[in-house]
Structure formats: structure tokens, C-alpha cells
A and B are shown apart, each in its own frame.
Chain A
Amino acid sequence: MKSFDRQDGKLVLAHILFAFGALLLGGIAGMMQGMVRGGASILPDFIGYYELLTAHGVLMALIFTTYFIVGFLYSGVSHTLGGKLLPAARKLGWAGYILMSVGTIIGVAVILAGQATVLYTFYAPMKASPWFYIALALVVIGSWLSGFGMFYQYRQWRKANTGKLSPLFAYMSVVTMLLWQIATIGVAVEVVVQLIPWSFGWVDTVNVVLSRTLFWYFGHPLVYFWLLPAYLCWYVVIPKIIGGRIFSDALARLSFMLFLLFSIPVGFHHQLMEPGISSFWKFLQVVLTFMVIIPSLMTAFSMFATFELFGRSKGAKGLFGWVKVLPWKDVRFFAPFMGMLIFIPAGAGGIINASNQMNAVVHNTLWVTGHFHLTVATSVALTFFGIVYWLIPVVTGRVLTPRMNRLGIIQTLIWCVGMFIMSGSMHTVGLLGSPRRTAYTTYDDHPDAVLWMPYHVAMAVGGVILFIGVVLIISNVIGLLRAPKGETEYPIGEVSESADHTPKYLERWGLWIGIAVALILFAYTIPLIDIIRNSVNAPGVRTW
């Protein structure tokens, strides 16, 4: 077994550790928010609820995820495309890391100083310090450099291996970073063209509807940027960990391409309840949104086909006999599996959210907060946690001990219990009308709002349990860094013998990018012209 390249290991580890640092800070902020909303006034004078909320959103949704994803994808790109990164790819990786880190440090400092209490969606015309927007731009540009490094490595590999099918891990990494590249153009234009000049005072007003539209052009594919690396783990890594095979290489690639096509031209489903966009274009993007259900169904089928084929190969009998033979006591399987399981209600909730007029029932209520704490904070987060138990040993030349494995199982269970309580009460109280992103209030003891309080207290309890989960995963990461020396294999699944040959057109990038661009132009051109021509700009305000 070839050990992981030491130089590349440092790059991967730097990303993973930064991600978990962000998780710890974001977790502290999250727990405190939960307690405040539950009625415990615990905040010191120098920090407010909304500063914590901004920090929580930025650190968890943008920083933890992006660092983890870049580190994880780089590890697999290095391993599957030649066993080490080319010098240029590695340099781009470090350059990206430095830019993102400078951006993160500036951003967090500005947030904690109370100069950017605008939440992670920073809706204009609330005007933050220009340094907040500059920090965000640095994070995005840094992530682009990281993506370029992966594209470069992939291209060079393909040149050197003409006619060969690229490794599935690398292919999926390229799709993920390509999705990110196309999606972040929206937020980059918003921040660089609209918000930075305006926050410096070089222009007086801002087109609010345009800024929101550009944000959500980015904001929805952002959630697929979180999800695709988790899917990558499910498709490529999990079959190896359980000792099975990948159900079909071709279908795995096709589902990733469909995600690339249908996760971008759909941002209006976050803007269903707002003025400035005609109902025809809202509905059209709702239809496009629901197209991602097709690759999601394909993914669910593949996962359970892999599990069942593996179980039957072990001699499992009956309709569900294969469930018993899965390696439930292996955290590298158990944590991502719980993520998959929770993705079933999480995905169903997402369908409700995007259902055009039905969105009125849940829009901006705690239901939505409950929803994405199931998707990103459980399905994605638990998969990422599950990855750590083999990724850190691989890149540092160590082994996972049975004790660490047990602690990992406990951590997973704590996370599920905490999330069940917190997200369950968020969903319920959201249906009753309790708004998201709101500090403790009973609206002058309005009877409806008073009835929400027990749910808010349950949210706080769930939040505290989740914080224990954060502390445990951090201590597990530290434990893994000090695990005994040894060799751990990078788990890459092999394709089942019965699977079909992968068609060449799945790797014709020009074709797929062309379709993606055509769909984006179709869904956005006319409404954007309308927004630019007919909107009235607004001056900036600081309301905190």
C-alpha cells in the first residue's frame, strides 16, 4: 500500500483543522443563541444576539463547509490522480488557503466588532463595513484558486492518460468545484460591483432586488456545494468501507451532472414571497428546482442497491435481511449512514419549501431553520464527521483505534438526539408561525407567541446537546492527531462487475457546461432585464 504524500497531507490537514476551528467557534455562538431564544439572558454586554447569529451563519455555512470540502476533495484528487499533487496544483491549494484564511480572520473580526451585523445573507440596503464584503470576496477568490488547482491536476492527468476513464472521485470533485465556480459568479458580482463601492460611499444607492437575485443565484447552488462532497463520500467511499462495490459508475456520473444542471437556474424559489419578480418566472424556476429530485432518487437507489448487493453477497436472506450485516459498529459507515437516513425527511421538507404558493406557510419561519439543520447540519455534517475518522489517519500516517471508533459512534448518537429535539421543535413551531432569525420575544405577551415558548426551550435543550456533540467531535479530531502511528488505506470503492461501461459523453465538459449555461440564461435573462430596468435603488442604512 502506497502511503499518502506527506506534502499533500499537510495541505489537507491544514484545511480540515481550520474547518473544525470554525465549527467550534460557530458551535459556541449557536448554543448561546439557542439559550437566548429559549429565554435565558446569558449574553455579556459586549455582544448581542444578532452578532452571534451572523458569526454562527458565516462560520458554519461558509467557513466550516468550504474548508472541509476543499481539504477533502484535494485529498482524493491527490490520491486518485497520480498519488500526489503537481507543484502548480499544490501551490494553488496553499494560495487559496491563505486568501481564504485572511478573509475569514478579517470577516470574523469585523463581525465581532459589531461592524457587520447583517447575517450571512447580508441583504442590502443594510450596510455593513466595507471590510466585511472585502473579507467575503477574499474567501470566494481563495476558493476559486483551490478549484483551479483541482482542474489543473485533472487536465494534466487526462492529457497523460488519453482515452482512459478518469477516477470517479476526481470527476466528482471537478463537478463540485465547477458548480461552485459557476454559482459564486453571482455573489462575486453582487459583492464587487454592487456592495463594495456602495459601502465605501462611492455610490449612494443600491438596486436591492438585483442584489437579492444575485445572492440567491449563488445561495441555492451553495447548498449543493455542501451536499455533493457528501454524495461523493456515499458513492465512492462508503462501498469500500462496508466491503461492497459501487453500483454503477455511469449512473453516479450522470447524477452529478444533473445536479450541476439543475441546482443553479433555481434561485427564485428563495424569493417566492417577494415583489419584483413575475409569477411566471417564479413558477418556471420552481419546476427547474424539482428536477433535482431525479438525481436524488438515483442516488437513493444506488446507495441502497450497494447495501443490498453487499448484504446478499454475505448470505443475507429475506427482503431486509441485508440490513443486519451492515457494519453498524464502524463509525466511518455509521455516521454517514445516519446522514443519509436523515436526508429522507430533510429532502421532503425541501420539497415543501420550494412549492411555489405553499411556501407562504413556512417562509422565514423556524421551519426553514429546522430544515437546513437537517440537511447541512446533519446529513452533510455527519458525513463529514464520518470522513474525519479515516481521512486524518490517512494523511498523518496513523490508525483509528477501537476506542476512537467507539467515541465516534457516541458522538454520532449525541448529534442525532440533539438534532431530533432541536430541529423537531423548530419544524413544529415554525408551522405555528414563529419567525426565524429573531431574538427572544413574546411580542408583548401575545397569546400566539407565548404558546411558542415551550418549543423555544426545547430548541435550547437540543442546542446544548449539540454543543456537547461539537466538543466531542473536536476532542475526537485531537485524539486522531495523537492516534498510534501506522498505515491507513485511502478507501476508494471499486465498480461492481455487473455495472455497465461508462459512456464517453459524460466526460465531455463543453457539452455539459453549455447546457448549464443555456439553462441559466433561459431562467434568468428576461427577469434580470426586468429587474435592472424597473427597480428603484435604495440608500444604505445601518439599523444595528
Chain B
Amino acid sequence: MHLHRLEKMWLAIGISMLAVFLIVLGTMAFSMGIQPPSEHHHTIDPAKVTETAPFDKPGFQLIGDRHYEAAMVAYAFGYDPATYEVEAGSTVDFTVTSSDVVHGFSIVGTNVNMMIVPGEISHISHTFDKPGTYLILCNEYCGTGHEYMKTTLVVK
């Protein structure tokens, strides 16, 4: 099939830009570790969340110098634990699951944004350098009280 000379140039430029873009994206993902969250399979029986560790005792646990592990349960319409305080510069490894329907887990002002699916456990880490009261909200519709579903993380 014959392509017009100008169309060949147009497509060549477009396709090269696309290739460069995908290489950048792929390099960031696979050699620099900037991945979308929760890639692996880490499952849980959604009917037994409250009996399964670590969600039988949801909360923050200090596991190193300014390094916390936060086991959280998302439910209609809130998060357990409701709020927590960490010092500035802390890294928090969030381990979150749902005890009912699909929820969101988004921390406003950060790139923390992931889905919480019943039966699955989602993971994401974030270092909170700036002090403030961070708003954690559900950004996936989950029922009548969806707009009330939130919690906060205070960074001092």
C-alpha cells in the first residue's frame, strides 16, 4: 500500500516518539522499580479478615528507624485504624485489605493511590517528608456512605 511522503514522515515521527516514551516507561518500571502498586498475589479470605493476621489487630507498628508497617482494613464506610501519628521523614508500608466491597485508598497530595479488593491484599510504601494532616480517602464508589469514607495520617 502506498503512503504519501508527508504521511510517512508524520507516522515515522509519531511512532518514534511512542517508542521512546514506552522505553522510558518500561525502564522506570522494571529497572528503577517505579511500578504500579500490588503486583503480586497475596490473598485472604474476605469473610475472615478480622481473624487473620495482621488484620486481627489493625494498626501501625514500628519496624525500624522511622519505618512503620500499617495494617489497615477498609470497610463500608471507613478505615481501621481511624487515625495515626508519625514523625516527619517516616516511611510507612501500607498493607490494606477490604472486609466487604471494593474500596479505594488514596492519600491526597501524594502518589499513593490503589484499589482495595476483597480477597486481595494491596501494598504500597510512602515516605512522608512534609508535616501535615494527610487526608486518606476512598476513591472507588462503595455504597451510600462512600463520601464519608476517609481517615487521616498526622505527620509531625
Contact = CB atoms under 8 A, between A and B. Distances in A.
Question: Do A and B originate from a single complex?
Answer: yes
Interface of A: 48, 50, 53, 117, 119, 123, 125-126, 208-209, 212, 248, 250-251, 254, 271-279, 282-283, 286-287, 290, 293-294, 297-298, 301, 305, 355-361, 363-365, 432-433, 435-441, 443-444, 446-449, 500, 503, 530, 534-539, 541, 543-544
22 contacts: A53-B141, A126-B143, A209-B120, A212-B102, A273-B113, A274-B38, A274-B117, A275-B114, A276-B117, A279-B35, A283-B30, A290-B22, A357-B34, A359-B36, A364-B104, A364-B113, A437-B140, A447-B133, A448-B108, A530-B41, A536-B43, A539-B47
A500 B1 contact: yes
Given A254-B1, A275-B122, A293 B29 contact: no
B155 interface: no
B13 to A, nearest CB: 9
A448 B39 contact: no
B96 to A, nearest CB: 9
Contacts of A433: 106, 108-109, 135
Contacts of B141: 50, 53, 119, 437-438
B117 A212 contact: yes
B31 interface: no
Given A272-B36, A539-B47, A541-B101, A446 B135 contact: yes
Given A126-B101, A543-B76, A446 B118 contact: no
A435 B117 CA distance: 18
Given A273-B36, A443-B150, A446-B135, A538 B46 contact: yes
A286 B25 contact: yes
B101 A48 contact: no
Contacts of B150: 443-444, 446
Contact of B118 (A208, A248, A358): A208
Contacts of A359: 36
Contacts of B93: none
Interface in B93-118: 100-102, 104, 106, 108-109, 111-115, 117-118
A125 B148 contact: no
Nearest to B37: A273
A303 to B, nearest CB: 12
Contacts of B106: 363-365, 433, 435
Contact of A294 (B15, B46, B146, B148): B15
A357 B40 CA distance: 15
Contacts of B152: 446
Contacts of B14: 293-294, 297
B117 to A, nearest CB: 6
Nearest to B121: A275
Interface stretch (B3-11, B53-61, B64-72): B3-11
Contacts of A251: 1, 3, 7
Nearest to A449: B135
A438 B11 contact: no
Contacts, number: 210
A443 B149 CA distance: 8
B154 interface: no
Contacts of B38: 273-276
Max chain A C-beta neighbours (<10 A), residue from B18, B45, B141 = B141
B139 A436 contact: yes
A435 B144 contact: no
Given A123-B140, A279-B35, A432-B108, 5 more contacts: A125-B101, A274-B117, A360-B36, A438-B139, A448-B108
Nearest to A437: B141
A444 B135 CA distance: 10
Contacts of B123: 275
Given A279-B36, A301-B7, A435 B18 contact: no
Contacts of A539: 46-47
B29 A276 contact: no
B113 A361 contact: yes
Contacts of A357: 25, 28-29, 34-36
B104 to A, nearest CB: 5
A534 B111 contact: no
Contact of A50 (B7, B28, B44, B144): B144
A414 B100 CA distance: 43
Contacts of B85: none
Nearest to A254: B1
Nearest to B150: A443
A443 B137 contact: yes
B74 interface: no
B147 A440 contact: yes
Nearest to B10: A301
Contacts of A361: 111, 113
Contact of A448 (B45, B101, B109, B140): B109
A209 B147 CA distance: 24
Nearest to A536: B119
Contacts of A278: 39-40
A297 B77 CA distance: 45
Contacts of B36: 272-273, 279, 282, 356-357, 359-360
Contacts of A123: 101-102, 140
Contact of A364 (B108, B140, B144): B140
Given A208-B119, A301-B7, A441-B147, A360 B22 contact: no
Nearest to A358: B25
B92 interface: no
Nearest to A54: B141
User: When A and B form their complex, which 3 residue pairs have the shortest distance between CB atoms, in order from nearest?
Assistant: A543-B143, A435-B139, A274-B115
Given A208-B102, A357-B28, A435-B106, A276 B139 contact: no
A359 B139 CA distance: 14
B39 A435 contact: no
Contacts of B121: 275
A544 B117 contact: no
B45 to A, nearest CB: 6
Contacts of A301: 6-7, 10-11
B101 A274 contact: no
Contacts of A443: 135, 137, 150
Contacts of B114: 273-275, 360
A537 B120 CA distance: 10
Contacts of A448: 108-109, 135
